[in-house]
Amino acid sequence: MNRRQTLSLLMAAGLGACFKREDGMRIWAMGTEGEKIVPFIDAFNHKTTGPKFRSQALPWSAAHEKLLTAFAADNLPDVIALGNTWVSEFAALDALEPLNQYGIDTSNMFEAAVDNATIDGKLLGLPWYVETRLLFYRKDNLARAGFQNPPQTWAEWEAQLAALGKIGGNHKFGAFMPVNEFEPLVAFCLQSQNQILTHNATKGGFQTNGIKATFAFVKSLYDKGYAAILSGAEAPDLYASFGRGEFTFVITGPWNIAEMRKRLPADAQDKWATAPLPGPTGLGASILGGVSLGINKASTQKTAALELIKELTSVGVQAEFSKATADLPAVKPAWALAGLETDAKAHSFYQQLSLAKAPPKAPEWERIANEMAIAMERVVRGIQSLDEALAGLDDFANDILAKRRYMINLKGNSHE
């Protein structure tokens, strides 16, 4: 029995799951996109002379586990939609076909998104749709505090938050930043000149000056009362309180443009806007997210798979897909076609995406990011000092990344 068979047996016994191989080409995608992709796949099937594709939607909450078990069972689909933080994991599994050899032009895509899908020089997927985090803010509150424009630097932001705190009434807290969300913290860390993970993402860089300063800055927002110390479950309903203007800033992603338009009361609609994140010295970077399309290395029909992912990342299809899902296209020229360029709220995302950076490319990253939020919560709740927390984070990261270091050393030695 070879490795895959052993594993399949274990999976079958352990999960009681049963994977049935079916004929034809398959593509798996997550969430709404997994459902909205159907007409695009139909159109592709209609047009293509090659094999036909079938799409299957996975719920986001179960997708990651499902993809890994499918890999263990040697049953991954031909084309895989991968959350951007999973790319390095599937690179470690050697499950994805490098696309460099196919001469695909990625010059019209957001660089951070292409970078995110590139591991050790290998392009392992094509960015399908992108997201990032930036400021949603209340223009009316800001105007009452005496500011006409959103902040460009940390210092400006702090000054605005301080002024907002003095208005009183409902505007007790300037920013809404639940402590259990790691994205804003990671976004600010990515603005630093130091890296969160150093040495090719094999060691923690939490005690470097830059990261330390970022943690201290975020901590100060809570300490000075600019943001309430809330975890997600305790937090009030975002839309209701933002609609009432109870806070001025929230750092969140593009899906909330549509949500805010839908859920905020009509009289609040012209009172909110979006803006790129402030940075230490000017508009700053943010965390790049989104989904890329990869080709299963074990697929027997790679040409057909390539044809599909090229189609899905072509300008026209990207624009249509964006209209159907409200996602942000990874391909820049599709923005104008989808009518996003004339939309000021979406345009801030264009600006931010051009400044965005890919998070560290280690398979263990998501776990470390979770721990960052937990550490920050301990600090702002006074359970730990900042220095202890950062030392603890370095220990945690170094421990989690031990196997990665071992693997990279192993690979390095075998090349010699």
Which amino acid belongs to residue 90?
Answer: F
β-strand partners of 372: none
92 binds other proteins, rule: CB under 8 A: yes
User: Using CB under 8 A, which of 32, 36, 93, 241 touches other proteins?
Assistant: 93
Region from 92-100, 207-215, 288-296, 330-338 binding other proteins, contact rule CB under 8 A:
92-100
Q: Is 120 among the residues that bind other proteins (CB under 8 A)?
A: no
**Region near other proteins per CB under 8 A, out of 109-117, 232-240, 315-323, 381-389:** 232-240
Q: Is 68 in the site for other proteins (CB under 8 A)?
A: yes
Residue ranges in 388-407 that form contacts with other proteins under rule CB under 8 A = 403-404, 406-407
Min. distance of Cβ 369 from other proteins in angstroms? 13
- How far is the C-alpha of 34 from the C-alpha of 328, rounded, in Å? 15
For residue 17, the SS3 value is coil
Residue 385 one-letter amino acid: S
- Is residue 376 involved in binding other proteins (CB under 8 A)? no
Among 44, 53, 71, 110, binds other proteins (CB under 8 A): 71
Task: Name the residue nearer to other proteins (CB basis): 84 or 208.
Answer: 84
Tell me which stretch binds other proteins (CB under 8 A): 3-11, 194-202, 254-262, 330-338.
3-11
CA distance 107 to 213: 34
Q: Does 5 bind other proteins (CB under 8 A)?
A: no
| CA dist list (Å): 374 to 253, 299, 390 | 21, 40, 11
Give the tokens for residue 38.
């159907």
Does residue 231 bind other proteins (CB under 8 A)?
A: yes
Query: Using the rule CB under 8 A, is 183 a contact of other proteins?
Result: no
Three-state secondary structure call for residue 290: strand
Contacts of 71 (CB under 8 A, 6+ apart): 90, 93, 95
String of b and e for 270-284 (b: at least 16 CB within 10 Å)?
A: ebbebbbbbbbeebb
* End-to-end CA separation in angstroms for the chain: 32
Under rule CB under 8 A, residue 409 binds other proteins: no
Coil, strand or helix at 234: coil
CB under 8 Å to 105, separation ≥6 — which residues? none
Residue 64 sits in the site that holds other proteins (CB under 8 A) = yes
359 binds other proteins (CB under 8 A): no
Give the range of 85-93, 127-135, 241-249, 344-352 binding other proteins by CB under 8 A: 85-93
Rounded to whole angstroms, how far apart are CA atoms 208 and 35?
Answer: 44
Give the binding range for other proteins (CB under 8 A) out of 9-17, 207-215, 295-303, 351-359. 9-17
- Nearest approach, Cβ of residue 60 and other proteins (Å): 11
Give least dist CB 364 to other proteins, A. 8
Residues 249 and 176 sit within 8 Å (Cβ to Cβ): yes
Using CB under 8 A, pick the residue from 27, 41, 63, 72 that binds other proteins: 72
89 binds other proteins (CB under 8 A): yes
CB of 285 to other proteins, least distance (A): 27
Q: Is there a contact between 257 and 134 (Cβ–Cβ < 8 Å)?
A: no
- Per DSSP, 295 falls in state E
Residue 18 or residue 23: which is nearer to other proteins going by CB?
Answer: 18
Query: Judged by CB under 8 A, which of 232, 282, 316, 339 binds other proteins?
Result: 232
CA distance 264 to 380: 30
Q: Per CB under 8 A, does 69 bind other proteins?
A: yes
Q: 3-class secondary structure for 137-192?
A: EEHHHHHHCCCCCCCCEHHHHHHHHHHHHHHCCCCCCCEECCCCCCHHHHHHHHCC
| Gap between the Cα atoms of 204 and 359, Å rounded | 13
Minimum CB distance to other proteins, residue 212 (Å): 23
Does the protein bind other proteins through residue 298 (CB under 8 A)? no
Quote the least distance from Cβ 191 to other proteins, whole Å.
28
Q: How many residues does the chain have?
A: 416
With CB under 8 A, what is the number of residues at the site for other proteins? 30
Calpha distance 42→401 (Å, rounded): 43
Residue number, 183 or 327, with CB nearest to other proteins: 183
The residue ranges that bind other proteins (CB under 8 A) are 3, 7, 10, 13-15, 61, 64-65, 68-69, 71-72, 89, 92-95, 180, 231-234, 363, 367, 403-404, 406-407, 410
